Amino acid sequence: MKGPKTVYICAECQYKSPKWMGKCPNCGAWNSFAEDVEETPAAPAPAAKRASMIPSGEHRTVRFEELEMPEYLRQRTGLGELDRVLGGGLVGGSVVLLSGEPGIGKSTLLMQICDALGDTRRVLYVSGEESGGQLKLRARRLGIVGKNLYILTETNIENILREADRAKPEVIIIDSIQTVYSTGVSSAPGSVTQVREAALTLINKAKGEGISVILVGHVNKEGSIAGPKVLEHMVDAVLYFEGERQQAYRIIRAIKNRYGPTNEIGVFEMTDRGLEEVENPSEMLMSGRPRGISGNCAVCTLEGTRPLIAEIQALVTQTAFPAPRRTTNGIDYNRMCLIIAVLEKRLGLKFWQSDVYLNVIGGLRLDEPASDVSVAMALISSMTDRVVPDDLIAIGELGLAGECRAVANLEQRVKEAARLGFAQAVVPFRNLEKRKPDIPGIRLIPIKGIYETLNLLQKQK
């Protein structure tokens, strides 16, 4: 019988190659090949063993009219911000993948979840990276008692399933999925094959027995989840735990959720007592905002269903080098270059003679185009040294011709701005053509293009 051989598998599309390649010929991804060991296929498993991987009662054809609507029971995790991201709580039988950079606070978050779920449910915490003593030390620091919490330090998937059958938990937490391995696969733990097989086994157990499973995933140097890309397609929800380790604030973002909305975020603050919820992130993001300073403008962005007021700061300074520097934090670099090009072409501002620095306060990342006008006004303000009024907020998408395009959910954004004390709101003219929202306490300033924003800036005193 032939022995095992080394192959290279693409993490994006599972394409196999006998040698490493920089670019996958199947999907075109770069640096996606990972080394793996492939054995000669053994004899097929008995029918009974193969059938046990499929949930009972779901392997026959039924008419669509005969299907019953399942009632998904949700369990509160004890953290309202996390429940908001999940769509109301942890669904029974669901599999959630939680990823984040090392040291961001994933294990702290999981211990707090265990403490809240332990009041009504039995939780099994499987740790493949820390000992029981280390978990106990963290729990004592956080003030967690650990009622109905069972700890298992194991990385073998067969032993994990055996202990789960004995403890009969209602929630299983795996920290992390990259450390779990199966003896039936000869490759090293963390490889594409091992991660896929371990995740598939846990997903089948969750679906077959109605157990909620939370998987912790590592993040590679590119910022994506380590392991095969198919892992994100297999689970029910994918959550990203974001934030700078030097800052106190953390953001949980849902990029996939079969039981709730996507692109929802939850905001937390890291303290010495663990993660604390930030119920009003807009006030947090706007705290400490300077007054009467050029290069500063506020914007209201939507994260899922939640409106957030963010502060955009721009610094334009003359450069002594032939190639000016462009630096951005929280806004896409190419989007910033596009806005700068529009301002140079339409307004005649000479950004090519200056270094440009752009920053979003609080570690928030703005992805939607509705922040274009606010970015443009901050850049114009810093270039001309004219101040954007402190009580003014700008909302709108900017086109290549300098026009201001309409945005979605304008009334919801303006209401959030009025709640935080803004008296003026720059909005797209086309949003007010059909219906002008009547919101007390705030004046709407419709604009058709970027040219009209020049009259709104005040001279520096």
Task: Answer yes or no: is pLDDT of 69 > 70.
Answer: no
Q: Is residue 57 part of a domain?
A: no
Domain boundary among 245, 279, 313: 279
Last residue of a domain, one of 252, 279, 306: 279
Residue 45 reports pLDDT greater than 70: no
Asked if 121 and 250 sit in the same domain, the reply is yes
Q: Which residues of 151-165 are buried (b: 16+ CB within 10 A; e: fewer)?
A: bbeebebeebeeebe
At residue 18, the pLDDT reads: 85
What pLDDT does 183 receive? Answer: 87
Q: Say what the alpha-carbon torsion angle 22, 28, 32, 37 is, to the nearest 10 degrees.
A: -90
Q: How confident is the model at residue 48 (pLDDT cuts 50, 70, 90)?
A: very low
| Average pLDDT value for residue range 39-62 | 53
Residue 460 clears pLDDT 60, i.e. is over it = no
> At 53, is the pLDDT very low, low, confident or very high (cuts 50, 70, 90)?
very low
Residues 345 and 274 in one domain: no
Please state the rounded mean pLDDT for residues 317-343: 93
pLDDT at residue 137 tops 80: yes
In DSSP terms, 6 is beta-bridged to 37
Residue whose pair of structure tokens reads 């007592």 in the numeric block: 273
Q: pTM for the full model?
A: 0.75
What average pLDDT does this structure show over 385-402? 94
pLDDT digits (tens, 9 = 90+) for 405-438: 999 999 999 999 999 999 999 999 999 987 888 8
- Whether residues 271 and 307 share a domain: the answer is no
Cβ(156)–Cβ(183) below 8 Å? yes
Per-residue pLDDT of 159-184, as tens digits, reads 999 999 999 999 999 988 989 998 88
In a shared domain, residues 22 and 79: no
Partnered with residue 298 across adjacent β-strands are: 311, 393
Give CA torsion, residues 13, 19, 21, 26, to 10 deg: -30
Per the structure, the count of domains in the chain is 3
Coil, strand or helix at 457: coil
Share of the chain above pLDDT 90, in %: 39
pLDDT beyond 70 at 245: no
pLDDT at 57 over 60: no
Is there a single domain that holds both residue 296 and residue 324?
yes
Length of the chain: 461
Residue 11 or residue 354, greater confidence: 354
**What pLDDT does residue 3 have?**
57
CA 369 to chain centre: 18
pLDDT band at 2 (very low <50, low <70, confident <90, very high): low
Helices (H), 330-409: 333-347, 372-384
Residue 425: what pLDDT? 95
Mean pLDDT, rounded, for 269-282: 86
Structural domain of residue 181, as residue ranges?
74-279
- Name the token pair of 458: 């005040």
394 in a domain, yes or no? yes
* Confidence band, pLDDT 50/70/90 cuts, at residue 339: very high
Q: Same domain, yes or no, for 295 and 411?
A: yes
Looking at the fold, whether 236 and 335 belong to one and the same domain comes out as no
Instruction: Give domain status of residue 129, yes or no.
Output: yes
Same domain (yes/no): 88, 16 = no
pLDDT band with cut points at 50, 70 and 90 for residue 331: very high
* Strand 306-318 versus strand 392-394 pairing type: unpaired
CATH number at residue 130: 3.40.50.300
